[in-house]
Structure 1
């Protein structure tokens, strides 16, 4: 991978680990630090998960998740926990995981073949829009880039019950940006950078909407213009990098602040 993560003497932890797993660990740990830098944290809660490639798992479904109890700025490549689709720890990690927190992620990873990465947040702007009648409005530059990409799922309480999974998948369909009503935001994608680009755009759309509604009535964007904006928004397209350049730029910022996630 041509990115600041493909380094490293400094990142050469766990020498026996498969190189593709090490790459996935570095990228995911960096993403947790990016979230912390952006303020997309909720104490020790919420998760970003990635599915490990078949080259690592021989076709079995295995995932990396943050150790439960650590803040995002404490997550490292080495302390990420490898689990199966049921949340069972596979790598003998001394760190616990939050099986309840993996319920939604497991359903999406299991039910959507292209869901390599799943991200979930409880940002103020995201939860505010999720609590708003009508949800996200097509009224700003960012929401216009998500035309026909946003799904909604009704609130069923704390997401600890596996039987919610089929209903969640039905709500999502094939839409990668998800607003969990009364709850928060979620995104999934074929790669971690693509998923980040989708979530960042959704988050930004919510922030602008929250600011706009505090001042008055927003100006709607027409369906025709929104369709054009979404078609022209190339940052989601894996063939054109799928958010890799933006993600790399943020990782470089994280590296200047604290590169301990590489350990």
Structure 2
């Protein structure tokens, strides 16, 4: 697509009639997630990325067009790529190669990780740079701590050989802190993955604020972390991200409609 179209997402024709109903719904949810990331101030201009796997054996997935702001992404502007980073539609936008490296690594080995979100927020990067990582200082921190992994920084994620190390570090966890880099969450749906990122981000915000207070800390006893996985289902009535997702979409419809175009 030419630069003029790239600067004017409204000129992109709708793809709703060109894809399955299932893929279209996935596009709508992922576009909404991009706009919610912008709404909550977790974006970094055109950088960082969210992706979602399209159902099927091909391991194709959707990712953001490189150069478009998160608050203007639409369902039709998302780029469909294969596991090797090739655009399925040559007329699509280009993608961020670093985004492809991280996301394709996860999608290749985690069949349950239908969605992957990655951010570079101030608080997330700050905690990722702290030697002890995420601390058990708040109720919010306990949910990620029960299912958290770390990946050491190796430079901008462009090298193919880093994939295997990232995959091994992630393992079966749904929360990851990329050292000196940022945050990553995965989930079976866009809604679940967004909720995971919301909780991890909030835990990092609280930790940065707490440490800035320069007072003696009251850490949560280690044994409590073991009970959190069961309590999480009780908090969301077993619905996970689906409980909050309709309200988040209604909020978007009020303040930034158009994501479903």
Same fold per TM (> 0.5)? Answer: yes
In structure 2, relative to structure 1, the CA distance for the partners of 1:223 and 1:231 (3 Å cut) is farther
Aligned counterparts of 1:180 and 1:151: Cα–Cα separation in 2: 9
2:14 touches 2:76 (CA, 8 Å); kept in 1?
no
Corresponding residue number in structure 2 for 1:81 = 79
Aligned counterparts of 1:63 and 1:172: Cα–Cα separation in 2: 19
Corresponding residue number in structure 2 for 1:37 = 39
Question: Does residue 1:226 correspond to 2:225, yes or no?
Answer: yes
Aligned counterparts of 1:236 and 1:39: Cα–Cα separation in 2: 25
Corresponding residue number in structure 2 for 1:49 = 51
Aligned counterparts of 1:125 and 1:234: Cα–Cα separation in 2: 27
Query: What is the Cα-based RMSD across aligned positions, in Å?
Result: 1.8
Corresponding residue number in structure 1 for 2:154 = 156
Aligned counterparts of 1:207 and 1:49: Cα–Cα separation in 2: 24
| Contiguous gaps of at least 5 residues in structure 1 | 1-10
Aligned counterparts of 1:167 and 1:236: Cα–Cα separation in 2: 34
- 3-state DSSP of counterpart to 1:243: helix
Once the two structures are TM-superposed, the CA of residue 258 in structure 1 deviates from its matched residue by 2.1
Once the two structures are TM-superposed, the CA of residue 236 in structure 1 deviates from its matched residue by 9.0
Aligned counterparts of 1:66 and 1:209: Cα–Cα separation in 2: 30
Once the two structures are TM-superposed, the CA of residue 260 in structure 1 deviates from its matched residue by 1.3
Corresponding residue number in structure 2 for 1:256 = 254
Aligned counterparts of 2:171 and 2:109: Cα–Cα separation in 1: 10
Aligned counterparts of 1:156 and 1:235: Cα–Cα separation in 2: 38
Which of 21, 28, 34 is 1:19 aligned to? 21
Q: How does 1:120-139 map to 2 (within 5 A)?
A: 120-139=118-137
2:105 touches 2:167 (CA, 8 Å); kept in 1?
yes
Aligned counterparts of 1:145 and 1:182: Cα–Cα separation in 2: 22
Once the two structures are TM-superposed, the CA of residue 31 in structure 1 deviates from its matched residue by 0.7
Once the two structures are TM-superposed, the CA of residue 13 in structure 1 deviates from its matched residue by 4.6
**Count of matched residue positions in the alignment of Structure 1 and Structure 2:** 248
1:197 touches 1:235 (CA, 8 Å); kept in 2?
no
Aligned counterparts of 1:12 and 1:71: Cα–Cα separation in 2: 19
Corresponding residue number in structure 2 for 1:108 = 106
- 3-state DSSP of counterpart to 1:185: strand
In structure 2, relative to structure 1, the CA distance for the partners of 1:235 and 1:150 (3 Å cut) is farther
Structure-2-length-normalised TM-score: 0.90
- 3-state DSSP of counterpart to 1:162: coil
Post-superposition CA distance 1:10-43 (Å, at most 9, x none)? x975323211111111111111111111111011
Corresponding residue number in structure 1 for 2:8 = none
Q: How does 1:196-235 map to 2 (within 5 A)?
A: 196-215=194-213, 216-234=215-233
Once the two structures are TM-superposed, the CA of residue 171 in structure 1 deviates from its matched residue by 1.1
Aligned counterparts of 1:85 and 1:146: Cα–Cα separation in 2: 28
Aligned counterparts of 1:262 and 1:69: Cα–Cα separation in 2: 19
Post-superposition CA distance 1:58-103 (Å, at most 9, x none)? x211100110000001110111110001111002333111122210
Once the two structures are TM-superposed, the CA of residue 261 in structure 1 deviates from its matched residue by 1.2
